[in-house]
Each structure stands twice: as C-alpha cells, then as structure tokens.
Amino acid sequence: MASGFFAVLDDIAVLMDDVAVATKVAAKKTAGILGDDLAVNAEKATGFLSSRELPVLWAITKGSGLNKIIIVPIALLLNAFFPAAIKIILILGGFYLAYEGAEKIVEYFFHRPKATQPEKTEVKENNDTAEKAKVKSAITTDFILSIEIVIIALGAVEGKTPVIQAVTVAAVAIIATIGVYGIVALIVRMDDAGYKLIKSSNSKGFFFLLGSLLVKALPVIIKILSIVGTIALLLVSGGIFAHNIAYFHDLLPSLPVMVKEFGLGLAAGLVVVAIMEGGKKVVALVKGDK
C-alpha cells in the first residue's frame, strides 16, 4: 500500500518536472508576444484619472483572465481534433490587430479631434463612456493576443502528452496574465509613488530627486508605450500572416523580418480600415435614403 502511494508521488514528481521544463521552453517562445502584449495593454490601461487607474486595470485583468479561461480549453480541443481551425482563427485575429494598429495611425494623421470645451454636465458621462469603451477595446485586443500566446505555447509542447500540454498552456496563460498586468500596474502608479517620495523627503535629497524623476517620466513612458503599442499590434499581426500564410512567408526574403512583418501588418490594416470606412458610408447612405 505504502509502495503504491510513493509510486504515485514519484509519478506526480516526474510529471511536474516535465511540466516545469515544458513551461520554461514555452515561456521563452512566448517572450516576444508577451513583450508586445505588455506594450499594447500598458498603453490601453493609461490615460484615466488617477483614482480610476487601478479599478480600470482590475476590470481589464479580470477580462484577460476570463479570455484565457475560454481560450485554453477550446485551443486544446481544436489542437486535438481540428488543428486547421487554429490557423484560421489566428489569421482572422491578425486582421483585427492590424485594423487596430492601422486605425490609430490613420486617426493620428487624418482625424485628430478638434479641441472643444464640453458642457460640465456631460463630462462625467463622457468619461464613463470613454472608460467603458477603452476597457472593452483592451479586453478584445487581449483576447486576440491571448490566442497567439496560447497557440505558441501549444506549439512548444507539440508531441507531449495531453496532460503536459494542458498544464503547460494553463501555466503560461496564468504567468502571462499576472506578469503583464502586474507590470502595467507598476507603470500606471509611477506618479503616485513619485509624489509619496517627494512628500516624505521634505523636498530635498535622493528620494526627492527619484520621486521627481518618476513623476516626470510617466507622461514620457505613456507616450512611448502608445507608439510602441501601435507598432506591436502591426508587428504581431504581420508575424501571424508571415508564419501562417505560405505566400507571405516566402515574400521578399531579402527584407529584414521586422520590416517585412510591420509592412504586412500595416498593409492588411489599411485594407481593413478602408473596407470598414466604406461600409460605414454605405450604411449612412442607405439610412439617408430611408
């Protein structure tokens, strides 16, 4: 009886060792996409009132966790019974990410909002609406990026037993959520930490300088993250096209990989933006006729 119990423990130990090794490999392979995920989500989680930053980030984090709870079992089932579907989903997700990235560029160059002074009664409502829209957009983008993370993690454990695949992918999903949004939380609260250091230092000394640096650095970091996040969306989408569509994989082999993937993402995004804008105009015309 005792020997049987220790045999089970030994099997569990071997399994956990295999999972640890597989998770390490999968984490390395998803490091790039996790970096993109961080840049994109940090940009989306900023720009709110200080009192709303953590509640908004918590809402996005919960949405990200739910995304992965949905994605992981579906990805495992599709990988086992219908692997071709994974590629189709990835490509569709790539078009969405490309659209988001290209839309930001088009909006920056051609649709900058004019400075207006809104009525005081409308400010809170507009802020609430903007906050909900930004949270929804962040969760949707996280969904697409989570699919990419899960698929890459699955590819890293190809050929392993179903149990090792399931546990490894789940572990990577948890690490991705906690790691990415933990770092994002640190970024968006930099200024609060800076103000506390300034207050406790009596406006002098090392901690005063450090606090001032944190406060002044946050707007710069947010601006950089906004740019990096947009580039990341296009790079991730272009990477999806290059890795999953043979024609694009073999296209212009002399170009550096990042340049090629950025170009593919931007081109696909601009096409989708044009289609969406054309569709909106058609809908507007149809409604106008009625």
**In the predicted model, is pLDDT for residue 197 greater than 50?**
yes
CB atoms within 10 A of CB 281: 10
Give me the pLDDT at residue 163, please. 81
Which pLDDT value is given to residue 161? Answer: 78
Residues 179-194 have pLDDT tens digits of: 888 888 887 778 778 8
Q: Is residue 271 very low, low, confident or very high in pLDDT (cuts 50, 70, 90)?
A: very high
Cα separation, 262 vs 260, in Å, equals 6
pLDDT band at 6 (very low <50, low <70, confident <90, very high): very low
**Per the structure, how many domains does the chain have?**
1
pLDDT of amino acid 260: 92
The whole-number pLDDT of residue 23 equals 65
Phi, psi at 272, each rounded to 5° = -65, -40
Within-domain flag for 9: no
Top mean pLDDT of 71-75, 186-190, 231-235 is at 71-75
Cα 45 to chain centroid, rounded: 11
Per-residue pLDDT band at 114 (split at 50, 70, 90):
low
- As a whole number, the mean pLDDT across the chain is 77
Query: Is 8 among the domain residues?
Result: no
Judged against a pLDDT cut of 60, whether residue 40 lies above it is answered with yes
Flag whether 56 is in a domain: yes
Classify residue 7: in a domain, yes or no: no
pLDDT at 52 over 80: no
Q: Is residue 214 part of a domain?
A: yes
Q: Confirm whether 104 is domain-assigned.
A: yes
Q: What is the pLDDT of residue 265?
A: 92
Count of alpha carbons within 13 angstroms of residue 103, beta-carbon side:
13
Under 8 Å between Cβ of 90 and 147:
yes
Mean pLDDT over 71-89 rounds to 86
Q: What is the pLDDT of residue 119?
A: 46
pLDDT reading at 9 higher than 50: no
- Residue 254: inside a domain: yes
pLDDT above 90 for 264: yes
Q: What percent of the chain has a predicted confidence (pLDDT) above 70? A: 76
**Distances 174 to 80, 105, 247, 270 between C-alpha atoms, Å:** 22, 32, 34, 33
pLDDT at 134: 80
Confidence of residue 22 (pLDDT cuts 50, 70, 90): low
Q: Which of 166, 132, 151, 146 is nearest to 97 (CA)?
A: 146
Q: What is the pLDDT at residue 16?
A: 59
Query: Is residue 263 over pLDDT 90?
Result: yes
Whether residue 268 is predicted with pLDDT greater than 90 in this model: the reply is: yes
290 pLDDT above the threshold of 80: no
Instruction: Give the residue, 91 or 50, on which the prediction is more confident.
Output: 91
Range of the domain at 85: 21-289
Q: How confident is the model at residue 118 (pLDDT cuts 50, 70, 90)?
A: very low
